[in-house]
Structure 1
Amino acid sequence: MRALLVVNPAATTTSARTRDVLIHALASEMKLEAVTTEYRGHARDLGRRAADSDDIELVVALGGDGTVNEVVNGLLHNGPDPDRLPRLAVVPGGSTNVFARALGLPNDAVEATGAILDALALRSERTVGLGLAAGTPGTEDESVPSRWFTFCAGFGFDAGVIGRVEQQRERGKRSTHALYVRQVVRQFLEEPHRRGGLITLERPGEDPVKDLVLSIICNTAPWTYLGNRPVYASPAASFDLALDVLGLSRMSTPAVARYATQLLTSTPDRGPRGRHAVSLHDLTDFTLHSKAPLPFQMDGDHLGLRTSVTFTGVRRALRVIV
């Protein structure tokens, strides 16, 4: 089997020595080409090359969720075709690794590599659904290129938090859970629309859902992790279905305290709930509009400001090794 290993050298939880060990372990079982990314978007370009290749059967992404997102967007640059495209395997190397952990892989890179090799020997894989976001026709964002996401997207408050975290990382701060918590507090204190949201969700055949402050789009559960604690924004979300949405229409101090507590104590059977919470399940097509530009993120990557985003849930988009 010929495989391409995409290595992010800035992966926060693996050292150069560990990466060398993992490369040798994988190379012992397959014909492996290992490429270290050198610029933002390089992993996407490598995924595209693999998708257009005639003989690459497997792409292994060694890095965090951002690296995985780039590889997936490269693999699917001509659209989903799970029977033709190379399979994807993920070795977690980031600070959170939501996609890999949601697939059931160990959060340790060495253990995950062992699990991947075992799965390859057993021919164990699954075909997962993914989310696709694009600029909405007829709006100022219609020219924004479409982009795939593996586990979540966010429009509004949570994307603002991601943007703040990225600013701190550019200033040399380490990506830790404490950093995220601090930026959540700062985003809340400076959020101008927390008592009346700007977002409207529209879907075919249904009344619009208006005045949302926060909108989280989930492709799987859990939504994220705080250390080893899974956090479920949409517990019923699944790689086997389309997309789930959690929306909040009010973020006063009491409401935030209530929903934060519900998130921290969420389970696979119970997520946020209440008068100002909207939970929608298994949506194939919908659009989020805002009265003013708001932050937008996908798989933890801040993508700037948007006024409208159209989402599509695509079942059976890509084969992954598990």
Structure 2
Amino acid sequence: MRAVLVVNPRATSTSERSRDVLVRALRSEVDLTVRYTRRRGHGVALARDAVHAGVDLVVTLGGDGTVNEVVNGLMSAEPATIDGHRTSAERRPALAVVPGGSTNVFARALGLPRGWPEATSVILESLREGRSRTIGLGRADDRYFTFCAGFGLDAAVVRRVERARRRGQVSTAGLYLRATISQYFLGGHRHPAISLERPGAPAENDLATVIIQNTAPWTYLGEREINPNPDASFDLGLDVLALRQLHVPSTARTVTQMFSRNPNPRGRQVLRLPDLDEFTLVAGHPQAFQLDGDYLGEREKVRFASVAAALRVIC
């Protein structure tokens, strides 16, 4: 089996020594080539090259941003060979994810251990036994995402966190909490401005912020799962939670529900739409936009779609 390991050398939870250990472990099972990302977006190109080369497996070592780039490279490249008897997912290289970032939501949602040594052991065992799983993805316009997207408040929080990290702060649960509080009380744009449009149904207007999930959980705070849409699944469509207003009492109640051990957010200001195949968000003025925890700027309109049985993963 031919494989490519895509490494983010700035991954927060691994060192050069641990990367060497990982490479040796993988080479015990596969014919491995190692590639390093050099800039933001480079993972897309490396994954496309792997598809064109006809490799069987792409492994990532990095955080959720690295995974997102590699997934987009895999999904946007034409497979080297066309076999009409195989599905689109079967014609692409499989994906294996070694957690190397600070949160690693996608890897943990797949059921992999949080630590990279333990996760590597699970992946190697799956390779030996020929185990894989086919999952669905989300797509926002022309970009794929694995676990979540945000339009409005949560994306603005991601923007604050990224700015703090560029100033040298470490990505921690505390940083995200501080960014959330600062954005909520000081960020402005708390008036409803977003509409959700979907085929065959009336538009949902006057939404203040929208969270989209392709699986559960939405994210983690340390070891605790945060679940606005606890029934979201890789095997179903996209689940949406939107808030109609961002008033302090109703928002605090919804956040408390999301943090509970049996989350079921509800209330007059809460809109939940499960298992959607497609929908479009339209804003009255530009809104912050994020995919898989990466801030992508401001948008006034984004079309979302669920892509079923899109990608094989080793887990």
SS in 2 for 1:310: strand
1:59 maps to which residue? 58
**C-alpha contact (below 8 Å) 1:266/1:272 kept by paired residues:** no
- 1:253 Cα offset (Å): 1.2
- 1:288 Cα offset (Å): 0.3
- 1:250 Cα offset (Å): 1.3
2:6 maps to which residue? 6
1:293 maps to which residue? 286
Which residue of the other structure, out of 200, 213, 218, is the alignment partner of 2:213? 218
Structure 1: distance between partners of 2:130 and 2:39: 33
- 1:266 Cα offset (Å): 4.5
SS in 2 for 1:83: helix
The answer to whether the aligner puts 1:96 opposite 2:92 as a matched pair is no
The amino acid that maps onto 1:30 is V
Which residue of the other structure, out of 263, 275, 278, is the alignment partner of 2:268? 275
The amino acid that maps onto 2:175 is L
Which residue of the other structure, out of 185, 203, 207, is the alignment partner of 2:202? 207
Task: Return the TM-score normalized by structure 2.
Answer: 0.95
Where does structure 1 differ by over 4 angstroms across 4 or more consecutive aligned residues?
none
1:158 maps to which residue? 154
Distance 1:249 1:266, change over 3 A: farther
1:71-101, Cα deviation, whole Å (9 max, x unpaired): 0000011479202000000000011101000
The amino acid that maps onto 2:260 is T
Structure 2: distance between partners of 1:156 and 1:258: 19
SS in 1 for 2:67: helix
User: In the TM superposition, what are the counterparts of 1:1-322 in structure 2 within 5 Å?
Assistant: 1-54=1-54, 56-78=55-77, 81-134=88-141, 146-194=142-190, 196-267=191-262, 270-322=263-315
1:204-256, Cα deviation, whole Å (9 max, x unpaired): 01011111111001000011000000111111110001101000011111112
SS in 1 for 2:76: coil
- 1:35 Cα offset (Å): 1.2
- 1:15 Cα offset (Å): 1.3
The amino acid that maps onto 1:62 is L
The amino acid that maps onto 2:109 is A
The amino acid that maps onto 1:264 is F
**C-alpha contact (below 8 Å) 2:286/2:300 kept by paired residues:** yes
1:138 maps to which residue? none
Structure 1: distance between partners of 2:61 and 2:286: 34
**C-alpha contact (below 8 Å) 1:51/1:76 kept by paired residues:** no
Aligned length: 307
Moved more, 99-108 or 184-193: 184-193
For the aligned residue pairs, the C-alpha RMSD in angstroms reads 1.1
Structure 2: distance between partners of 1:11 and 1:190: 31
Unaligned runs of 5+ in 2: 79-86
SS in 1 for 2:89: coil
The amino acid that maps onto 2:64 is D
SS in 1 for 2:165: helix
1:281-302, Cα deviation, whole Å (9 max, x unpaired): 1101100000000100000000
Structure 1: distance between partners of 2:264 and 2:215: 13
The amino acid that maps onto 1:175 is S
Structure 1: distance between partners of 2:117 and 2:244: 43
Structure 2: distance between partners of 1:219 and 1:65: 14
- The percent of aligned pairs where both chains have the same amino acid is 55
SS in 1 for 2:90: coil
